[in-house]
Amino acid sequence: MPCECPKLVSYKQMVFDPEKIENPVLARVIRERLCEYPKFLHEWGDNRWADRYVDSNFAIPIVR
Amino acid sequence: MSQEPKKRISIIAKPTHDCNLACTYCYADPTLERGNMNETTLWNMTSKSLQSYDRVDFIWHGGEPFLVPLEFYAKAVEFQKMHTGKQVTNGFQTNGTLVTDDVLDFCERYDFKIGISLDGPETINNRARMFPNGQGAFEQTISAIRKVKQRNLGNGIIVVVSKLNVDRCVNIYEFAKAEGLNLKLNPLIRSGRALQIYDEIGLEPREYGRAMVDLFDRWFYDVPTIGIDTFEELMGNLLTGVPFGCNYSQSCQNSFISVGTQGDIYPCTRFDGIHEFKLGNINTDDLNKVLESEKRQWLRDRTLRIKECLPCDYRQICNSGCMHGAYMQTGDIDKRDYYCVGYKMLFSHIRKRVEAELAKAEVKQHAV
């Protein structure tokens, strides 16, 4: 399945580009977990992530 | 495009409570029933769960699950296949000492994953993980781990952190890295056989927190490295604000139950044998009624009742931690997890490190 990772991600007041994260551990965790979280939670029947989608207080995709 | 949510549950199944090891810190209640799960219980567990859920993840746990003949698990697969249109996964959690080529062939054939418990290198592992005669289990376990990895049936170890190894976490990490294994580190549980020596090997929450903070830095800045589930889970939770993992989720009771050898249903394997937490029996009770019972709802609502966590910065991603941890320490599930202080040290440290790295990748926004 192609990665649906957003181009830019926001976290708190920051907007960052996942591609520019230098730390390889953090880059991998974001790639593997942040991209997959919404899909994973939805599969579990938990739609709380959808609320987060419009709440910029947490890491959410803002550009697809 | 969104899909209809699927109902999913993980069942921690106990084909036996018997074990061929005598680990000093085992959390299992040594008075639990002996013997193996019979076919009637296996059938009831399989059919009732698959009638209620679209997807069931069976975690074959113990005791030691490979004390039960493989024919039992073949029967489990047969029963599962009788329920069409359902999604099923299977995994063993084992000490590895009974993993044979036949076991590996079986797992390959039926797509069972294998998770193995090991506390790192021989001198550390054998302090707690041993046969009843006192002989350490390292040699047999590492041999199994290598074979499991070779066959792509699993690639990680679960480590119990106690006073016996808390000052050696970096050694454990280096060992796992050299073996190419991913790690999950769980703090000691105050339960079962461990109660007999808890005063000697129990951890203070700060002690656990300090060890994890040190290990996090060793790992986070290491290249190349391995996966450490304990940390990755928390990084994901911090970044999304949505907790993942049974320890931190809003309620593990949305996702897990345990079914014992004789069919007794508990909220989690850690509660096995504590009668006040027994939810029912898979052979005699309607599973839907058990899952919707007042008792389970009471467990599910635990987080909402814990006022002491309300002011905490991390409440949203911690949800007061594990209710078993709280219960075993205080006799009350409506208290915070015993390791709370240690977890907060780790949450705070990870947040600091992650935010520092994110700042380097920040895209400056221009006012429109």
pLDDT tens for chain B, residues 1 to 368: 333 434 888 899 999 999 999 999 999 888 888 999 999 999 999 999 999 998 898 999 989 999 999 999 999 999 999 999 999 999 999 999 999 999 999 999 999 999 999 999 999 999 999 999 999 999 999 999 999 999 999 999 999 999 999 999 999 999 999 999 999 999 999 998 899 999 999 999 999 999 999 999 999 999 988 999 899 889 888 887 777 778 887 778 878 899 999 999 999 999 999 999 999 999 999 999 999 999 999 999 999 999 999 999 999 889 999 999 999 999 999 999 999 999 999 999 999 999 999 899 887 765 44
Per-residue burial over B217-235, b = 16 or more CB atoms within 10 Å of its CB, e = otherwise: ebbbeeeebbbbebbbbbb
Inter-chain CB proximity B221 and A20 less than 8 Å: no
Residue whose token pair is 């050898």: B261
Q: Give the pair of three-digit tokens for residue B118.
A: 């090991």
Tell me whether strands B264-266 and B280-281 are parallel, antiparallel or unpaired. antiparallel
Residues 3-62 of B with CB under 8 A from A: 3, 5-8
User: pTM for the whole thing?
Assistant: 0.89
Tell me what pLDDT residue A47 has: 39
- What span, in angstroms and rounded, lies between the C-alpha atoms of B329 and B152? 39
Tell me what pLDDT residue A48 has: 41
Tell me what pLDDT residue A34 has: 65
Give the pLDDT band of residue A56 (cuts 50, 70, 90): very low
pLDDT tens for B217-268 read 999 999 988 999 899 889 888 887 777 778 887 778 878 899 999 999 999 9
Inter-chain CB proximity A25 and B255 less than 8 Å: no
- What span, in angstroms and rounded, lies between the C-alpha atoms of A35 and A45? 17
Residues 254-283 of B with CB under 8 A from A: 254-255
Q: Nearest CA of chain B to the CA of A16: how many Å? A: 4
Q: From the list A11, A44, A47, which residue is nearest B358 (CB)?
A: A11
Q: Nearest CA of chain A to the CA of B73: how many Å? A: 26
Per-residue burial over B93-114, b = 16 or more CB atoms within 10 Å of its CB, e = otherwise: bbbbbbbeeebbebbeeeebbb
Inter-chain CB proximity B357 and A23 less than 8 Å: yes
Contacts of A41 in chain B (CB under 8 A): 242, 244
Tell me what pLDDT residue A53 has: 37
Tell me what pLDDT residue A14 has: 75
DSSP B342: H
> Which of A5, A15, A16, A25 is the best substitution to test chain B (most B C-beta atoms within 10 A)?
A25
Q: Is the pLDDT of residue A15 over 80?
A: no
Nearest to B280 by CA among B291, B31, B327, B270: B291
Share of chain B above pLDDT 90, in %: 80
A28 Cβ neighbours under 8 A, 6+ residues apart: none
Residue whose token pair is 């990748």: B361
Contacts of A54 in chain B (CB under 8 A): none
Inter-chain CB proximity B8 and A37 less than 8 Å: no
Q: Is the pLDDT of residue A17 over 60?
A: yes
pLDDT tens for B185-219 read 999 999 988 999 999 999 999 999 999 999 999 99
Taking a C-beta distance cutoff of 8 angstroms, is the pair B232, B214 a contact?
no
Q: Does A63 touch chain B (CB under 8 A)?
A: no
Nearest to B28 by CA among B1, B63, B58, B59: B63
- B328 or A60: which leads in pLDDT: B328
Give the pLDDT band of residue A8 (cuts 50, 70, 90): low
Nearest residue of A to residue B56, measured between CA atoms: A44
Tell me what pLDDT residue B55 has: 87
CB atoms within 10 A of CB B366: 5
CB atoms within 10 A of CB B295: 15
ipTM summary value: 0.87
- What span, in angstroms and rounded, lies between the C-alpha atoms of B55 and B47? 12
Inter-chain CB proximity A16 and B6 less than 8 Å: no
